[in-house]
Structure 1
Amino acid sequence: MRYTISALAKALSARLEGDGSLEITGAAEPAGAGPEDLALAMQPAYAEGLTQGQARVAILWEGADWRALGLEAALFVARPRFAMAHLTARLDAGPEIEPGVHSTAIIHPSAEIGDGAAIGPFVVIGRGVRIGQNARIASHCSIAEEARIGDDVLLHSGARIGARVVIGDRFIGQPGCVIGADGLSFVTPEKSGVEKARESLGDQGEIVAQSWTRIHSLGSVRIGDDVELGASTCVDRGTIRDTVVGRGCKIDNLCHIAHNVVMGEDCLCAAQTGIAGSTRLGDRVICGGQTGIADNLTVGSDVIFGGGTKVLSKVPAGQVMLGYPAVKMATHVDMYKAMRRLPRVMNRLFAAEKAVPKSDGDD
């Protein structure tokens, strides 16, 4: 698809300088841009790349001399990465799913499919499912009985939606995401070693053989509007009540949201984040990659966890946390600096010990 630069400038609320009639078909990094690409050169560091590529038009940093860079037009935006969100939304066609229902799809007679839906090959839709208008469901997805899916939803190939799951409007599920699998809920007939260790802070007492009995998951999952789940991410169903993911949450690839978790609105989880069972998150909580949050905790709104943080106790609202165990970021930085200095401190201590002669009474 072709776009004029003047139309893009209007869509991005950008200031246009130069020839607005130029047309582009895509976007590219400056050095690899062709004559029909919009070069993304939003910082001075990209200036050299513009001379290596063939772009005629670019998004530039404020104050750049677009003529001196050999361009025929330029766009200037107040917040470049925010502009990229709108630009990529226009240029991304998404997966190709033909309108209507593919002949290989298996749909239960009681299922309700909204107007304008596109359902790809080998999709399986169970009893009593309701799918909203303009939903796009790619190949090999499965949607179990009595699930509810809102309008304008996009399920990529291989997504799995469990029984009685409720999903809001404009949801995006990347390939292989699983919503509504059973949670890890098992119990032993006698008090387990884990229970004893928790009570004693480490002592199992007498160790005996144990076996595990499943606690079945009777709840399901409720997901709000405008949520995105990454590839191979799993959200487990609740044991009795539903697991909840609030409106606007964005969850990356390879994350795990365990049974009974309640996430507030607009939370963001980077890859390999794990949130253990029955933990509650407030609104706008941000989890860097490989964040781990233990079970039955409460995390307040507007908390930020740096990458690799391991959370073992409740966290008040507004904190910025880092480390294992999680502490305030400033404290973690001080601890890290102290650890880096520790070898030098120990060397000075050993040197001082050698410099002190032993008294006659010393052995």
Structure 2
Amino acid sequence: MKFYVPMLGKLLVAEQQSSKWQLDSHLVGIQTMCLAIDPFHAERVYCGTYGRGLWRSNDAGHSWEPIGDVPFITGKGGISSGNITAIAVSPTERSGEYGVVYVGTEPSMLFRSEDGGASWQELRAFRELPSASSWSFPPKPATSHVRYITPDLHTVGRVFVAVEAGALVRSLDGGQHWEDRVPAGPIDTHTLVMHPAAPNRLYSAAGDGFSHPGKGYQESYDAGLSWQYPDEGLSEHYLRSVAVDPADPDTIVITAAATPPSFSAGSAEPAIYRKTRGKPWQKVWQEKGSMLLHVASHEAEPGVFYAAGFKGIYRSPDAGLTWDQLAFSWGEEGITGEQLARARNAGLMRQFPQALALSDV
């Protein structure tokens, strides 16, 4: 398994070679934020940065080039913000060799590319939604950003987009038209995933539980039209991420904390919880200072979960019950005080790493 880990001052790519781990740093000195792998062509990888725009790799992360910036592709349409906060590649929409790419920014705008990032169309109807005037990111209340993009695994053209903070919205036609948030839906979704064996089911890890305990984890069985809040067993309600066992849509793990600062390096106290069908949530991991922020799974490894934190990557071979750190780690070397200051000013505090993406290529 290969790991892509966007961090405050670099993009880390980790891959096991025989009995050793190869760790390579890319985009050093750049605040990397998010990453997506093309499901049709796993060597094609996109990385979003804060302030330096969108980057692309055509060789599974070995080399990178900037794309999407208006000055570089004048006349073809570009991404008008250099703050890329979310990326996704659709598994059901394809143009030629590659999947259709969606990119979200700060301030909240959404873009779509049908030619692998050579040109971009802004999906203007997104920021014309009635709720848009209320979107606001608490650390920077004058603005908001696209936090997560989830193209539907089953229905062509259906896309879900989470705004931090203010809405979870959806499109049924590839982003040309949008349906606004529903009254009982999540307002501050941080991660939104689907499962190939569960059409129309959405799993949301949200910050809603901080001000409304019991609404941190939310599920929909009808593609976002209505929502449920199974929270029995949770003692922390501010959620950061969610992942689902590739072999079982009812085996779920989340990262949760009591408050947003509990996810920052100076006071890291997040926990990992696990849930199975018909059972309450079970806390399976909590270690002060580990800052396990992001959980993920991959179809190539059913029953296995990974978590990225302040000290490195952890693996669970038993569907989330137990966790062990992989034989490599990282620290804050290479992250300058100036970069940390910029991260705090951007409302990121010292959240580290920013995301976790897995590939078997």
Given the two structures, how large is their TM-score scaled by the length of structure 1? 0.28
Which structure's residues are more often helix, by fraction?
1
Q: Which has the higher contact order (CA 8 A, sep 6+)?
A: 2
Which structure's residues are more often strand, by fraction?
2
Given the two structures, how large is their TM-score scaled by the length of structure 2? 0.28
